[in-house]
C-alpha cells in the first residue's frame, strides 16, 4: 500500500480509503457479514482510512465492523449534516450520538457534510466553526474538515474562513473543472491540508457501461488497463491528493483497487497516457447532450435552480444510458431540498436570462433546462421534497432522543 503524508497533521494515510456509502446489500438491507469481511480485508491489506456519515445511516454498523482491534488500525472519518440541525446545541448532541455509534471516544476526521452556498451559510449561523474548535480542544475530534459540492469561488471562501485540516472534494478526469476542481484542489493543497477525493469513478459512470467510442480509445493504449484503473491512476497521479475514497462493495473491485493503490504513484502516468485520458474525456464531452462543463459561472440562479447539477444529471442519463427511473430518483433526491430547504429543479426557472449572459460556453441554458424538466421531472420529483423533509424531522427526533439518554 502506498501512503501519503498530510503536511498539517503529520498523519500518513493509505492512498485508498474505504468509502462506506455503498456497502453490499442482501434482500434490500446491508449485508453485515459481507461488509465486515470486505472492510477488514481492506484494512488487513493496508487501508487505514474509513469514511462514512451520519446521513449514510451506517455509523453503528461501521462501529461494529471496527471492533476486535480494528478501530486502532484506522482513522475514522464521518460527517455532520448541517441540514438536519436547527440550533447550535444540536451540533453537540449530534456528535455525542456519533461517538456512541462508533463506540469510540474520538473521531479522527470530522466534517461539515456537503457544503454548498446554503449549507455553508447555515453552518455559519449555527456557529459550527466554534463548535469544531471546541470539539478539538475537548479531544472529541482530531481533525476538522468539510466535504464540498459547491463552486470554485465558494470553495476558496470556505478554505480561507477557517484553519481546516482537510477537505473532501469530487474529482475525476471528467469533472476536472467541476465544483472545486483542479484549481480548488491545488488551492487547498498549497495550504498543507489533506485532500480527500470522492467520486473517482463518478458514481460508477466511468467504470460501468463504457460507450464503445470511449472503449476504442482505451483499446489503443500501449499498456492495457481497465477503465477503473485509468480513472484511479489519473486521480492518484496528482501529488496533492492524499487519499481517494472508493465506495467498494465487490470483492474483485477491492482487490483491483488495492493493486492500483500500490502502483499509482504521483506523476507516474506518461505524457502519452495523460493525452489518452484527455481523449477519453473529450469523447465523453462530445457525447454529452448539454455541453455544460460544470464551471458554475451561471450561479447563483435567482429562482434557486441548481443549473450545473440539473444539466449534469441529464447528461449522465444520456452518456451512460442509465436507467431513467433511477436517474429521475437521483435527480429528485439530489435536488429535492437543496436551495434553502427548497427544490432546485430545472422547472423552477423563470426565464430571466441571467445564466445565459454569464455562461462562457454560450449555452442555451433556458432551452436546455426545459429539456431537463421534461425528461427528469415527474411524480418522483413532486413527492421527494416532502418525503425528504419527513425523513429529516423523524431523524432529528431520533437523534434528540438518543442524545438525551444518559451516557454510561
Ligand atoms: S434563466 Fe432560469 S435558470 Fe437562468 S438564471 Fe434565470 S431563472 Fe435561473
Ligand atoms: S451552464 Fe454554462 S456557466 Fe453554467 S455551469 Fe454549465 S457551462 Fe458553466
pLDDT in tens, 269-307: 999 999 999 999 999 888 888 878 776 778 889 999 999
Q: With a cut of 60, say whether residue 338 has pLDDT above it.
A: no
By the 8 A CB rule, do 48 and 14 touch? yes
Q: Rounded to whole angstroms, how far apart are CA atoms 342 and 347?
A: 13
For residues 90 and 109, what is the distance between their CA atoms, to the nearest angstrom? 19
| Residues spanned by the domain of 236 | 3-280
State the distance from the centre of ligand 1 to the C-alpha of 282, rounded, in angstroms: 27
The domain boundary, picked from 280, 315, 341, lies at: 280
Residue 316 CA to ligand 2 center (angstroms) comes to 16
Same domain, 46 and 184: yes
pLDDT(406) > 70: no
Point out the least confidently predicted range of 76-80, 90-94, 377-381: 377-381
The highest-confidence range among 80-94, 179-193, 303-317, 384-398, by mean pLDDT, is: 179-193
Q: Residue 303 Cα, ligand 1 centroid: separation in angstroms?
A: 6
Res 328: pLDDT: 81
CA distance 362 to 359: 5
Indicate whether 153 and 74 sit together in one domain: yes
Distance (angstroms) between ligand 1 centre and the Cα of 153 equals: 19
Residue 403 counted as domain residue: no
Looking at the chain, the whole-number percentage of residues with pLDDT higher than 70 is 92
pLDDT band at 24 (very low <50, low <70, confident <90, very high): confident
**What does the pLDDT look like over 130-145, one tens digit per residue?**
999 999 999 999 999 9
Same domain, 149 and 46: yes
Q: Which residue has the higher pLDDT, 247 or 95?
A: 95
pLDDT digits (tens, 9 = 90+) for 59-85: 999 999 999 999 999 999 999 988 778
Q: Are residues 45 and 127 in the same domain?
A: yes
Specify the residue with its C-alpha closest to ligand 2, atom 3: 359
Same domain, 148 and 250: yes
Cis peptide before 300 (omega within 30 of 0): yes
Query: Please, which contacts does 296-301 make with residues 24 or more away whose CB atoms are closer than 8 Å?
Result: 296/150, 296/151, 296/152, 296/153, 296/179, 297/358, 297/359, 297/360, 298/354, 298/355, 298/356, 298/358, 298/359, 298/365, 299/117, 299/151, 299/355, 300/117, 301/349, 301/354, 301/355
Taking each helix axis as running N to C, give the angle between helix 324-335 and helix 379-403, from 0 to 180 degrees, rounded to the nearest 10.
Answer: 50
Cell (9 digits) for 346: 430545472
Q: Which atom of ligand 1 is nearest to the CA of 350?
A: 7
CA-303 nearest atom, ligand 1: 7
148-152, 186-190, 316-320, range with the lowest pLDDT? 316-320
Identify which of 366, 367, 371, 372 to mutate to test ligand 1's pocket (most ligand atoms within 8 A of the CB). 366
Ligand 2 geometric centre to CA of 354 (Å): 12
pLDDT at position 408 over 50: no
| Judgement on whether residues 270 and 314 belong to the same structural domain of the protein | no
Ligand 1 atom index nearest CA of 351: 1
Assess if residue 305 is contained within a domain: yes
Q: For cell 460501468, what's the residue?
A: 208
Residue 147 has pLDDT above 60, yes or no: yes
Nearest CA to ligand 2 atom 8: 295
Q: Are residues 376 and 342 in the same domain?
A: yes
- Nearest CA owner, ligand 1 atom 8: 301
Distance (Å) from CA 343 to ligand 1 centroid: 14
Residues 161-171 have a mean pLDDT of 96
Residue identifier of the C-alpha nearest atom 2 of ligand 2: 359
Mean of the per-residue pLDDT values for the chain?
88
Domains held by the chain: number: 2
Amino acid at each position: 500500500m502506498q501512503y501519503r503524508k498530510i503536511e498539517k497533521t503529520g498523519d500518513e494515510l493509505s492512498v485508498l480509503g474505504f468509502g462506506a456509502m455503498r456497502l453490499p446489500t442482501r434482500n434490500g438491507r446491508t449485508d453485515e457479514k459481507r461488509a465486515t469481511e470486505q472492510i477488514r480485508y481492506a484494512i488487513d491489506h493496508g487501508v487505514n482510512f474509513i469514511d462514512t456519515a451520519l446521513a449514510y445511516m451506517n455509523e453503528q454498523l461501521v462501529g461494529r465492523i471496527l471492533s476486535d482491534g480494528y478501530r486502532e488500525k484506522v482513522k475514522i472519518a464521518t460527517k455532520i449534516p448541517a441540514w438536519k440541525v436547527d440550533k447550535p446545541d444540536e451540533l453537540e448532541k449530534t456528535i455525542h450520538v456519533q461517538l456512541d455509534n462508533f463506540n469510540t471516544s474520538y473521531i479522527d476526521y470530522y466534517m461539515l457534510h456537503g457544503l454548498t452556498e446554503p449549507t455553508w451559510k447555515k453552518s455559519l449561523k449555527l456557529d459550527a466553526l466554534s463548535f469544531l474548535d471546541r470539539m478539538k480542544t475537548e479531544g472529541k475530534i482530531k481533525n476538522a474538515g468539510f466535504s464540498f459540492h459547491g463552486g470554485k469561488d465558494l470553495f476558496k471562501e470556505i478554505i480561507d474562513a477557517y484553519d481546516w485540516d482537510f477537505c473532501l472534494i469530487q474529482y475525476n478526469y471528467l469533472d476536472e473543472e467541476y465544483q472545486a476542481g483542479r484549481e480548488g484542489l491545488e488551492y487547498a493543497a498549497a495550504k498543507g491540508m489533506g485532500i480527500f477525493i470522492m467520486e473517482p469513478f463518478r458514481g460508477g459512470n466511468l467504470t460501468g457501461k463504457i460507450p464503445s467510442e470511449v472503449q476504442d480509445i482505451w483499446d489503443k493504449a500501449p499498456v492495457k488497463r481497465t477503465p477503473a484503473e485509468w480513472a484511479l491512476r489519473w486521480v492518484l497521479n496528482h501529488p496533492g491528493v492524499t487519499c481517494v475514497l472508493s465506495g467498494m462493495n465487490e470483492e474483485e473491485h477491492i482487490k483491483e483497487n488495492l493493486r492500483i493503490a500500490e502502483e499509482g504513484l504521483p506523476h507516474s502516468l506518461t505524457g502519452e497516457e495523460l493525452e489518452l485520458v484527455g481523449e477519453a474525456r473529450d469523447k465523453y464531452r462530445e457525447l454529452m447532450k448539454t455541453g455544460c462543463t460544470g464551471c458554475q459561472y451561471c450561479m447563483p440562479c435567482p429562482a434557486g435552480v441548481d443549473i450545473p447539477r440539473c444539466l449534469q444529471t441529464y447528461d449522465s442519463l444520456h452518456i451512460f444510458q442509465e436507467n431513467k427511473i433511477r436517474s429521475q430518483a437521483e435527480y429528485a433526491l439530489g435536488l429535492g431540498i437543496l436551495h434553502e430547504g427548497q427544490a432546485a429543479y430545472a422547472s423552477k426557472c423563470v426565464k430571466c436570462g441571467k445564466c445565459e449572459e454569464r455562461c462562457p460556453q454560450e449555452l442555451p441554458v433556458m432551452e436546455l433546462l426545459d429539456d431537463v424538466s421534461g425528461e427528469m421531472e415527474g411524480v418522483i420529483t413532486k413527492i421527494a421534497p416532502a418525503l425528504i423533509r419527513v425523513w429529516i424531522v423523524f431523524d432529528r427526533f431520533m437523534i434528540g432522543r438518543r442524545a438525551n439518554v444518559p451516557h454510561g
